Copies of this chain bind each other. A is one copy, B any other.
């Protein structure tokens, strides 16, 4: 990682005031021999104080993050701040502009390639710059996700249990300050390549979210994001004001029985909706063949009891797709 990133920022990152610009990533391609990928960035700073890094658009088909962060970039007043806010509302901008989870340039899933590489793919170059140039400047990181076009979730903020109890405790406090309707303790089954992992290993206070899905946003889900961002900045001591409290229900996704893979392809009929409590063995979905009538559907039963917290969104489903996620209520 000693090689330098080819990315340059069009604005300074360490000065007082508020600046809007781009991270410029040279990209020579058939449509532009000397072109650039341009990733929007806003930095607002007022003297010393903690730095919050706020990111959205890690996956390009998730909208609560970009909407709340663009609004924040337009409304932040440095004079009412103490410290710094770095905003990347559409981190994987090529994916975001194409309304796709992954980059149309290289197929890269930004949240699987951290810490990236300065001489890798476009997506790996973005990860490398964020990990090596932006992340070290931050004390607290909020990475806003939603389910994207193929998943839908009840709105929750989430943290991981890291090995360091004080780090976990700080993250938990930040998650509670965010104030989403649900709060989730997650045990990541495959943490390799995630931004979360890199940020936590660097000792940052890291909070993530899932605030909806389906490749859309609603007034309600954007409202949760906007309020949560403001609460978090107040909690971090960067922005003045009082936290708008919201009761969160504590949940956990921490065992194999939380995840339900589709046993085949077909039309997905949800038999229970998001936010409902289900019992182990209860029918939660049916899968119908798409090419004929008069055949019985496959029936999907809950593998564990809990709250139906996530589900496959599109009307058709393939074998191996995640059909449902059941979360265990905690405490």
Chain A 217-247 interface residues, beta-carbon cutoff 8 Å to B: 217-220, 222
Q: Which residues of B contact A97 (CB under 8 A)?
A: 290-291
A296 to B267 Cα, complex, angstroms: 23
* Interface size in chain A (residues, C-beta < 8 A): 93
Q: Which residues of B contact A36 (CB under 8 A)?
A: 261, 319-321
Q: 1/0 per residue A20-38: CB within 8 Å of B?
A: 1010101111111111111
Report the minimum CB–CB distance from A212 to chain B (whole Å): 10
Contact present for B294 and A34 (CB under 8 Å) = no
Known: A269-B67, A269-B217. Is A261-B30 also a contact (CB below 8 A)?
Answer: no
Contact present for B292 and A22 (CB under 8 Å) = yes
Report the minimum CB–CB distance from A245 to chain B (whole Å): 23
Chain A 263-287 interface residues, beta-carbon cutoff 8 Å to B: 264-265, 267-273
Report the minimum CB–CB distance from A77 to chain B (whole Å): 13
Q: With an 8 A cutoff between CB atoms, is A101 at the interface?
A: yes
Q: Which residues of B contact A40 (CB under 8 A)?
A: 291-293
Q: With an 8 A cutoff between CB atoms, is A74 at the interface?
A: yes
Q: Which residues of B contact A297 (CB under 8 A)?
A: 70, 74
Q: With an 8 A cutoff between CB atoms, is A202 at the interface?
A: no
Contact present for A218 and B291 (CB under 8 Å) = no
Known: A32-B150, A74-B294. Is A220-B322 also a contact (CB below 8 A)?
Answer: no
Contact present for A291 and B269 (CB under 8 Å) = no
Q: Which residues of B contact A82 (CB under 8 A)?
A: none
Q: With an 8 A cutoff between CB atoms, is A174 at the interface?
A: no
Contact present for A67 and B267 (CB under 8 Å) = yes
Q: 1/0 per residue A277-315: CB within 8 Å of B?
A: 000000000001011111111000000000000001111
Contact present for B35 and A315 (CB under 8 Å) = no
Of B190, B214, B222, B294, the contact of A20 (CB 8 Å cutoff) = B294
Q: In this complex, what residue of B is CB-closest to A111?
A: B28
Report copies per complex: 6
Contact present for A218 and B99 (CB under 8 Å) = no
Q: Which residues of B contact A313 (CB under 8 A)?
A: 214-216
Known: A34-B151, A35-B321, A99-B314. Is A291-B273 also a contact (CB below 8 A)?
Answer: no
Contact present for A112 and B61 (CB under 8 Å) = no
A151 to B63 Cα, complex, angstroms: 16
Q: 1/0 per residue A80-102: CB within 8 Å of B?
A: 00000001011001001101111
Contact present for B42 and A220 (CB under 8 Å) = no
A293 to B151 Cα, complex, angstroms: 27
A294 to B312 Cα, complex, angstroms: 27
Contact present for A102 and B30 (CB under 8 Å) = yes
Contact present for A32 and B294 (CB under 8 Å) = no
Known: A33-B147, A90-B290. Is A219-B272 also a contact (CB below 8 A)?
Answer: yes
Contact present for B320 and A33 (CB under 8 Å) = no
Known: A24-B261, A292-B40. Is A150-B219 also a contact (CB below 8 A)?
Answer: no
Write 11 A-B pairs (CB below 8 A) sorted by A numbering: A33-B59, A33-B151, A34-B151, A34-B321, A38-B291, A38-B320, A63-B267, A69-B293, A215-B315, A219-B270, A291-B319
